[in-house]
Structure 1
Amino acid sequence: MTDENGGIVVEGVARSFGSVQAVNDVDFKAPPGEVTALIGPNGSGKTTLLLILASLLAPDKGTVRVAGFDPVAQPGEVRRRMGWMPDTLGVWDSLTASEVLKTMGALYGLGEADRSSRAEDLLGTVNLTEYAKQPARVLSRGQQQRLSLARALIHDPEVLLLDEPASGLDPGSRVELRSLLRSLAAAGKTVVVSSHVLSELDEIADRAVFVSRGRSVKSQTLDEAGSQTRRYYVRAEPMSELATALQSYGVRFETRGDSRREEFLIQLGSTAEASWLLRTLVLGDVVITAFAPAGGALEETYMSLDTDRR
């Protein structure tokens, strides 16, 4: 049975390992044409869920559809349509970067000419062309991550699962990764990213699913995340005038920092409220030297949830 809507749909999924309940009653949707972030603390069940989606683990209960297919009953159909990038590469040490991709292409049934062309193009995409003939074992952690991404894309999958894809990448490579994932989503692919770097996900994701203790606890789009209550850091010269102005507008604040870098932490209900306050302060001749969110939109949601962060 197929689902004309494609993407990923998970309903009521659970999976245990002996007495340990790794995933318990997870609902998860990732539509085509979008990047969906999977967010949660260590031990929350994210990797187990990704393994279930990749058809590498069977759920104890619940239903899963990936590109319209059941990973348990139709694993071959799912694997043909899915690219999987685990958090560690696992390379064939004796193969070159190019040979790794060509071998994966062969496993997916690509002809010799197609896999050679595809490998060359992808090495260029992930900026590894100069390492094409280098053994994979000599690549740095970041270079291996880029090779792992190219490997996941070798068969041009409909669905892409990425577990901590930015791990080990330098700042420039992180920017390139964001651009690549956005372009893949724009091309209609379903992209799921699990990462601890929430500030990065603000720039990549269209929506997010938060998990804690094996359960999905919240789902929201980035637009919804951006319109929620957020904390802001504000500085002015002098700070005493800022304090007087905030008190007059009924805005509560906490003092943070020290005498060299004192700042106020405030909480506002929306970006519109933040815009109003900044404009009002400036028009009131308060010399604002800094006014910025204390964290990203997804970080605000994460911190507001009763997650097991300890």
Structure 2
Amino acid sequence: MPPDSGVTAHGVRRSFGSVQAVADVDLVAAPGRVTALIGPNGSGKTTLLLMLAGLLAPDAGTISVAGFDPVTRTYQARARTGWMPDVFGTWDSLTAREVLTTVAAAYRISPDDAGRRAAELLDLVHLAELADEPAHVLSRGQKQRLGLARALVHDPEVLLLDEPASGLDPRSRVDLRVLLRRLAATGKTILVSSHVLTELDEMADDAVFISRGRTVAAEAIESAGESRRWRITALHHDVLVAHLAQAGVPYDVEPDGAEGVLVALSDDTEAAALLGDAVRAGVDVVSLAPAGGVLEQKYLALEEERR
């Protein structure tokens, strides 16, 4: 059997008639890490995930999931893949428990093991009290949690998650982050797409940015934050600006009359030094904080460069 090699895609393309949804994507998601797939609406994220899940065949390029090509080795790849689409779809008349045991049967899990696994997963996603309620009574957030449990039924090596936090309440979002980090720690490969970049900041190890169906950047989260914009405010805006100019610190004044000043800093140490210098110079600093998440800033910078 091939060794677990996570998820790779090279030169992947897919068109629907005259519309080229995925034009040229390269991607690597390593075992034991959470990889974020980031891009604007229409960038090809869902189409790419469908190809990785073996539900669409690429027009060109190569894909490997847990060491198998999902086109030529469909069963082997799918047996090792947990797929969670952005919209939960199932038979509404089935109970939450029956949804999981039915999916377990499709993976040839014995009825006794399926029942135990369903109970374990329903407890994991905090749906145990709704185990025997029909799926149609579940809220969108509850259906999302059931969708995650469904993806985990067969204990897959690879998890492909499309907008898993959509519709979740704040507590459930925290639980999701904790769960994904725990699963990654066991060696699973997790590829997650989301528009909520602040969520990804707290759970992802790596990021792949795509735009117009093409990979435009791929890097570790640590390196994505090497140069980060911070917002500094003071009681007297003009005094702050004068200090930064005298100290030779490049800055941008926030638009629309906002009182903050934006500066590019490499890390927390540089931020602390800037704050200390300002205070010693008599600047009444009110706040100094990142102007956004690491991924959000990287994404906005790439979009601006693309334009």
Fold equivalence (TM over 0.5): yes
In 2, are the aligned partners of 1:41 and 1:308 still within 8 Å (CA)?
no
User: In structure 2, do the counterparts of structure 1 residues 139 and 308 end up closer, same or farther at CA, with 3 Å as the change threshold?
Assistant: farther
Q: How far apart in 1 are the matches of 2:4 and 2:127?
A: 35
Distance in 1, Cα, partners of 2:234 & 2:281: 12
- In the comparison of the two structures, how many residue pairs are matched? 307
1:254 shift after superposition: 3.6
1:72 is paired with a residue whose SS is coil
Residue identity matched to 2:19:
V
Match of 2:57 in 1: 58
- 1:305 corresponds to: 302
Deviation at 1:205, TM superposition (A): 0.4
Unaligned runs of 5+ in 1: none
State the Cα distance separating 1:203 from its structure 2 match: 0.3
Aligned partners of 2:180 and 2:203 also within 8 Å: yes
The match for 2:139 is: 140
Q: Residue 232 of structure 1: CA displacement?
A: 1.4
Residue number in structure 2 paired with 1:268:
265
Distance (whole Å) between structure 2 residues aligned to residue 250 and residue 222 of structure 1: 29
- Within a 5 Å distance, the mapping from 1:286-297 to structure 2 comes to 286-297=283-294
Q: Which amino acid aligns with 1:293?
A: P
Structure 1's 307 and 288: CA in aligned 2 closer, same or farther, altered over 3 A?
A: closer
| Alignment-mate amino acid for residue 150 of structure 1 | A
Where 1:155 maps in the other structure, the secondary structure is coil
Q: Quick one: distance in 2 between partners of 1:255 and 1:248? A: 16
- Looking at structure 2, the residues matched to 15 and 235 of structure 1 have their Cα atoms a distance apart, in angstroms, of 47
Corresponding residue for residue 239 of structure 2: 241
How much has 1:3 moved relative to structure 2? 4.3
Structure 2: runs of 5 or more not aligned: none
Query: Which residue of structure 2 aligns with residue 149 of structure 1?
Result: 148
Q: Which residue of 1 aligns with 2:75?
A: 76
Superposition CA RMSD, Å: 1.9
- Deviation (angstroms), 1:249: 1.0
What TM-score comes out, normalization by structure 1 length? Answer: 0.94
Q: Which range is displaced more, 128-137 or 281-290?
A: 281-290
Following the alignment from structure 2 to structure 1, what is the Cα–Cα distance between the partners of residues 238 and 303? 35
Amino acid at match of 2:136: R
What is the CA distance between 1:252 and its match in structure 2? 3.5
* C-alpha deviation, 1:83, in angstroms: 0.3
Q: Where does residue 185 of structure 1 map in the other structure?
A: 184
Other-structure match for 1:196? 195
Structure 1 residues 288-297 or 230-239, which shifts more?
230-239
Instruction: Report the alpha carbon displacement of residue 305 of structure 1 after superposing the two structures with TM.
Output: 1.0
Answer yes or no: is the 8 Å Cα contact 1:91–1:137 preserved in 2. no
Alpha-carbon separation, structure 1, partners of 2:4 and 2:53: 19
Residue 231 of structure 1: how far off its partner (Å):
1.6
Q: Does the alignment pair 1:109 with 2:108?
A: yes
Report the equivalent of 1:218.
Answer: 217
CA drift of 1:257 comes to 7.3
Question: In structure 2, do the counterparts of structure 1 residues 152 and 108 end up closer, same or farther at CA, with 3 Å as the change threshold?
Answer: same
Q: Is the 8 A contact 1:161 1:191 kept in 2?
A: yes
Q: Which letter does structure 1 place at the counterpart of 2:271?
A: A
CA deviation digits over 1:19-61, x for unaligned, max 9? Answer: 1111122110001000000001111111111000000111111
Evaluate the alpha carbon distance shift between residue 147 and residue 214 of structure 1 in structure 2; reply closer, same or farther with a 3 A threshold: same
Normalised by the length of structure 2, the TM-score is 0.95
Structure 1 residues 241-250 or 145-154, which shifts more?
A: 241-250
Structure 1 stretch displaced more, 201-210 or 250-259: 250-259
Q: Partner of 1:162: helix, strand, or coil?
A: strand
The letter for the 1-side match of 2:14 is R
Alpha carbons of structure 1 residues 139 and 231: separation in structure 2 relative to 1, 3 Å: same
- Aligned partner letter, 2:289: A
1:67 matched residue in structure 2: 66
SS of the residue 1:177 aligns to: helix
